[in-house]
Amino acid sequence: NLSPHQIPGMTMSWQKVFSTLASTRLREAYARAVLGEDPEVQPKERAKLIESGLLDADGSVNDALFKELLAAASAPRPQGVDRFFREGRLDGLPAGHADRLSVLEHLADRLFPGGQELTEPQVNLLIATVTRDIPTLRRALVDYGYLVRNADGTGYRRSEVA
């Protein structure tokens, strides 16, 4: 019981499925097959249904087709620190200590130039590019040692060693 993606030289694609289903005759034949009825198709039509992946090589309905197409089309899951960002913005600080450190280190490297002192408004502008919760992220960067705040509060700089 081979499905089209298991037959050498045949590939499955949602475009092929939709172009096959665009034909009223083939759509009706596929519907009959799904209902367990004889699709009543010519050999050429049967070949199109098989080639598209809607039917298996033996003429039975390929029940796994739509799940396989959806799985193939799904976006890859973000890895590493990217898991905590949506459209370039931080969802929130991760609860896990190791993940939190990874995100803070990533942000410190990404946002703050080394060897340069920044005012609090400058730091806030940079932090605002990734979150709305500016005070929480600024405080975490300082508390975890990624940013160093001057004792008098006049400026910040990226820590050389966190």
Query: Residue 114's pLDDT band (boundaries 50, 70, 90)?
Result: confident
Per the model's pLDDT, the better-predicted residue between 75 and 86 turns out to be: 86
pLDDT value at residue 5: 45
Give the span between the Cα atoms of 36 and 56, in whole angstroms: 14
For residue 126, pLDDT beyond 70: yes
Q: Is a pLDDT exceeding 50 seen at residue 7? A: no
Residue 92 shares a structural domain with residue 69: no
Q: Domain of 126: which CATH number?
A: 1.10.10
Domains in the chain: how many in total?
2
86 and 54 part of one domain: no
What is the Cα–Cα distance from 130 to 119, expressed in whole angstroms?
Answer: 18
- What's the pLDDT tens digit per position in 30-70? 999 999 999 889 999 999 999 999 999 898 999 989 888 88
DSSP-derived secondary structure letter, 149: E
Q: Are residues 63 and 85 in the same domain?
A: no
Are 45 and 101 members of one domain?
no
Domain membership of residue 15 as a residue range: 4-73
